[in-house]
Amino acid sequence: MSVTAEFTVRSGHQGAPGLAHGGVLAAALDETLGSLNWLQRVIAVTGRLETDFVRPVPVGAELHLEARVTAVHGRKIYCSATGRIDAPDGPVAVRAQALFIEVRVDHFIENGRAEEIDAALADPDQVKVARAFEVNP
């Protein structure tokens, strides 16, 4: 199972002058990896995210992200992702390995804020099987 996404690096995503902030790139990878859980129809949270920054990503670049599930063992979902600059076959800029842990909805009810939980439950896009994913932080 895999998913692809595109992330456009804008000036608000800048860290060092003219380059994407590593934390923003990690967030885009995490969002892309997390969307795999929707495809599996499981509720899961990031347990571990390891990111390798292979080359700088300039502001204005379009990062092509691909994530895939590599294994499932009980409640553990192992996955990996790659981000390539300006084309699906462009140079690799970032890689990630992640572990997601399947949780029950009670996890969010017990730890989240009631207003946001109610809003998410009222949003039909959150409960649809087919969902458009947005990875731009």
* Partner residues linked to 49 by β-bridges: 98
State pLDDT tens for residues 13-68.
999 999 999 999 999 999 999 999 988 889 899 999 999 999 999 999 999 999 99
E strand or H helix at 24, and its extent?
helix 22-40
> Domain extents for the chain?
2-127
CATH of 2-127, one of 3.10.129.10, 3.30.930.10, 3.40.50.10790, 1.20.1440.20: 3.10.129.10
Overall pTM surpassing 0.75 (yes/no): yes
* Partner residues linked to 48 by β-bridges: 99
Rounded CA-CA distance 129/107 in Å is 21
Joined together, the tokens standing for residue 39 give 């495809």
Rounded CA-CA distance 27/25 in Å is 5
State pLDDT tens for residues 68-122.
999 999 999 999 999 999 999 999 999 999 999 999 877 777 777 888 877 877 8
